[in-house]
Amino acid sequence: MSERPRLTVLSGPSGVGKSTVVAHLRKVHPEIWLSVSATTRRPRPGERHGVQYFFVDDEEFDKLVANGELLEWAEFAGNRYGTPRRAVLERLEAGEPVLLEIDLQGARLVRESMPEAQLVFLAPPGWEELVRRLTGRGTESPEVIERRLAAARVELAAESEFDVTLVNTSVEDVSHELLALMKVS
């Protein structure tokens, strides 16, 4: 076993609370490094370039793919998302734990290219609660919510592919469990 800190991948259906958990975790542990993905999705109110995402257009995303700059990428509910490769590898080389918050397809690609990665599935306490959270966030149109719920059904069925499942009932509890998995005390 190498002593290298692991790459941890957090995945789970849209609306389950991934961003909320990660934001909480980073507030308490600012030293945890979270990869910032590139996306073709438009920013939501309050989102800033380089913070939540690098917001790029289709042409720029094509270039990132063509130049091999993405560790993985996937299309999700009509937009493309990808993990910049270099920053992740640099952090791992520097001995720092790395966290990725990506979708199911991305998690599968990381498992293929980096089998030592730890895959964590964030599950909702129940389907109704997932619908409530996704709708309650109020950031997507009914049509987009439908697309995301359709994707969520597929994602929920893939839970057994992950190393660990954490149920997001309490943001604090789940952040604590995730920290323990990343072996950051």
Give the one residue of 18, 102, 103, 152 binding ligand ADP; rule: CB under 6 A.
Answer: 18
Give the one residue of 7, 9, 10, 16 binding ligand ADP; rule: CB under 6 A.
Answer: 16
User: What does 92 bind: ligand ADP, ligand 5GP, none (CB cut-off 5 to 8 Å by kind)?
Assistant: none
Does residue number 98 form part of the binding site for ligand 5GP (CB under 6 A)? no
Q: Give the number of other CB atoms < 10 A from CB of residue 183.
A: 11
Does residue number 15 form part of the binding site for ligand ADP (CB under 6 A)? yes
Name the DSSP class of 17. S
Give the number of C-alpha atoms closer than 13 A to the C-alpha of residue 145, restricted to the C-beta side. Answer: 13
92 vs 106 by CB, closer to ligand ADP: 106
Does residue number 171 form part of the binding site for ligand ADP (CB under 6 A)? yes
DSSP characters for 124-174?
A: -S-HHHHHHHHHHT--S-HHHHHHHHHHHHHHHTTGGGSSEEEE-S-HHHH
Give the number of C-alpha atoms closer than 13 A to the C-alpha of residue 146, restricted to the C-beta side. Answer: 3
Does residue number 106 form part of the binding site for ligand ADP (CB under 6 A)? no
Give the one residue of 60, 90, 170, 180 binding ligand ADP; rule: CB under 6 A.
Answer: 170
Please report how close the Cβ of residue 1 comes to ligand 5GP at its closest, in angstroms: 27
43 vs 136 by CB, closer to ligand ADP: 136
Amino acid at 33: W
Q: How far apart are CA 53 and CA 46, in angstroms?
A: 12
> 2 among the known binding-site residues?
no
Name the DSSP class of 56. -
Does residue number 11 form part of the binding site for ligand ADP (CB under 6 A)? no
Does residue number 74 form part of the binding site for ligand 5GP (CB under 6 A)? yes
Q: Give the number of other CB atoms < 10 A from CB of residue 177.
A: 17
Does residue number 147 form part of the binding site for ligand 5GP (CB under 6 A)? no
Does residue number 35 form part of the binding site for ligand ADP (CB under 6 A)? no
